Amino acid sequence: MSTARPTDPRTADPRTADPRTADPRTTDPRTTDGAFDAVDVIRTKRDGGQLSDGQIRWFIDAYTRGAIADEQASAMTMAIFWRGLEPDELATWTAAMIASGERLDLRSVGRPTVDKHSTGGVGDKVSLVLCPLVAACGAAVPQLSGRGLGHTGGTLDKMEAIAGWRAQLTNEQLVAQLRDVGAVICAAGAGLAPADRKLYALRDVTATVESIPLIASSIMSKKIAEGTGALVLDVKYGSGAFLPDPERGRELARTMVALGEAHGVRTSALLTAMESPLGIAAGNALEVQEALDCLAGGGPDDLRTLTVELAREMLRMAGIAGGPDPADLLAGGAAMDRWRALVAAQGGDPTAPLPLAVEREVLTAPADGFLTRLDARAVGVAAWRLGAGRARKEDPVSPVAGVRCLARPGDAVRAGQPLLELHLDDAARLPGALAALAGAYAISPAPPDPDTLAPLVLDRIGG
């Protein structure tokens, strides 16, 4: 029996250390069948070591195939959460996630392709307006989207509030619609980055979502695999964002821009505010209605401004800036035709009325003054508890549930004036939503200093 004490892998000399724990760049601890040992790979990252390309590729492939257990993958994601990934590890991790499935080829679409991805926010219905708007400007927009989980809504859940609209398209239907309409909003097919599908579900239940390398590889593997030629990232900061601190948002943006460029996708990012909800509505049908108002040339200022900024950036990244300004097209209602064509092409009825909630509850201002704060996360959680979002990914969502914010930070308000309107179809959900909104807003006698209001677009990264 050996009496040797285990070697501390953080301090061991890799030339003499136990091969199970040594630096894998100097010692390749493969088993005889060519695989690595999952426990060795996890231990290396747990102890702050650097993973080899071979280890990373093997780990992602084996997990996707089911040869690595969920508990081992969750240990690995927790190790990455604490230890991070070096840039070359992250590049390999992302490449392995892309290689876990197919990569679409959109060259036959015949126009420059450009997509937008938001890191998630409350009331973020920008995609519904932006996709037809950028198509109306001459690009093709493959807006492959997800469902909401937690306090941020998902684009597909919003679109499914439209009677008949379907999220699932085959790759052939996607390409044909991009060619004919120029705009598609649909679910990412099961063949795109299947490693991320498994890893993201695991991270969601193991508190390992808020990690820059894991978020960056998750988002970028899907966006690179979808085949877009250019990409604009809307990275949120503020209370409703995954990463509230703008510095962490900036770091995430830089990391994703570098990954996109390394894979030949022209990528840039805007760092944008998610301190208060975007626009007025948070909730599925309520947000579709607000998007329609915007497509008709109206809608809330912040939604219109952000959509136009993102559209200009997308056209620049697609190499087709210089035509009509998206602000003019939006104001003139030109994107509405593309919207109707998009909805109809996916089985929806663009003329059908949107569903409405049977019950409403109004919260009023307790005093005269100015609204100085309206917390995005609290409004998102309230909408979610009313039924607009899901607790588990298999849960249904209510199309009608949500919150309308009837005053915005900076607005003067009078005592008794409606501030928030809660929409619901299940009265049992109201107490939880009201609890989420306790302390969600502040009213002060003086207007807020404009310098304390978060700028809508704080920075641009890359491009």
Q: Which residues bind ligand URA (CB under 6 A)?
A: 119-120, 200, 209, 214-215, 218-219
- Catalytic pick among 115, 196, 302, 375: 196
The residue behind tokens 């200009």 is: 312
**Which amino acid, one-letter code, is at 65?**
R
- Count, residues in the chain: 463
Q: Which one, 94 or 119, has the nearer CB to ligand URA?
A: 119
Q: What are phi and psi of 270, to 5 degrees?
A: -110, 140
Q: Work out the number of other CB atoms within 10 angstroms of the CB of residue 34.
A: 8
Q: Which one, 15 or 392, has the nearer CB to ligand URA?
A: 392
CB of 200 to ligand URA, least distance (A): 5
- Catalytic pick among 125, 222, 338, 385: 222
The residue behind tokens 């209001």 is: 453
Q: Return the ∠ at Cα 160 (arms to 157 and 163), rounded to 5°.
A: 160
- Token readout for 411 is 């607005």
Q: Which one, 56 or 330, has the nearer CB to ligand URA?
A: 56
Q: Which one, 201 or 352, has the nearer CB to ligand URA?
A: 201
Q: Which one, 221 or 284, has the nearer CB to ligand URA?
A: 221
Residue nearest to ligand URA (CB): 218
Q: Which one, 304 or 377, has the nearer CB to ligand URA?
A: 377
CB of 59 to ligand URA, least distance (A): 17
Q: What are phi and psi of 244, to 5 degrees?
A: -65, -30
CB of 212 to ligand URA, least distance (A): 10
Q: How many angstroms separate the CA atoms of 401 and 120, rounded?
A: 19
Is 393 one of the catalytic residues? Answer: no
Report which of 179, 114, 165, 108 is spatially closest to residue 144, judged by C-alpha positions: 114
CB of 224 to ligand URA, least distance (A): 13
Is 218 one of the catalytic residues? Answer: yes
Which string of DSSP letters, residue by residue, matches 336-362?
A: HHHHHHHHHHTT--TTSPPP--SEEEE
Residue 298 burial (CB < 10 Å; 0-12/13-18/19+)? Answer: middle
CB of 215 to ligand URA, least distance (A): 4
Q: Which one, 136 or 219, has the nearer CB to ligand URA?
A: 219
CB of 70 to ligand URA, least distance (A): 17
Is 302 one of the catalytic residues? Answer: no
Is 151 one of the catalytic residues? Answer: no
Q: Which residues contact 135 (CB under 8 A, 6 or more apart)?
A: 141, 181, 182, 183, 335, 338, 342
What's the N-to-C CA distance of the chain in angstroms? 61
The alpha carbon dihedral of 265, 271, 272, 276 has a sign of positive
- Catalytic pick among 46, 83, 116, 117: 117
Q: Which one, 243 or 329, has the nearer CB to ligand URA?
A: 243
Q: Which one, 192 or 215, has the nearer CB to ligand URA?
A: 215
- Token readout for 29 is 């601890």
Sheet harboring 281-283: ordered strands across? 281-283, 402-405, 418-424, 359-364
Is 158 one of the catalytic residues? Answer: no
CA dihedral 307, 239, 218, 141 (to 10 degrees): -10
Query: Alpha helix locations (H) across 85-211?
Result: 87-99, 126-136, 155-159, 171-180, 194-204
CB of 290 to ligand URA, least distance (A): 23
CA dihedral 396, 122, 252, 309 (to 10 degrees): 120
Q: How many angstroms separate the CA atoms of 241 and 256, rounded?
A: 16
- Catalytic pick among 218, 268, 276, 398: 218
CB of 222 to ligand URA, least distance (A): 6
- Catalytic pick among 125, 197, 203, 263: 203
CB of 90 to ligand URA, least distance (A): 13
Report which of 365, 353, 3, 339 is spatially closest to residue 181, judged by C-alpha positions: 339
Q: Give the DSSP H or E segment for 145.
A: strand 141-145
| Residues noted as catalytic | 117, 196, 203, 218, 222
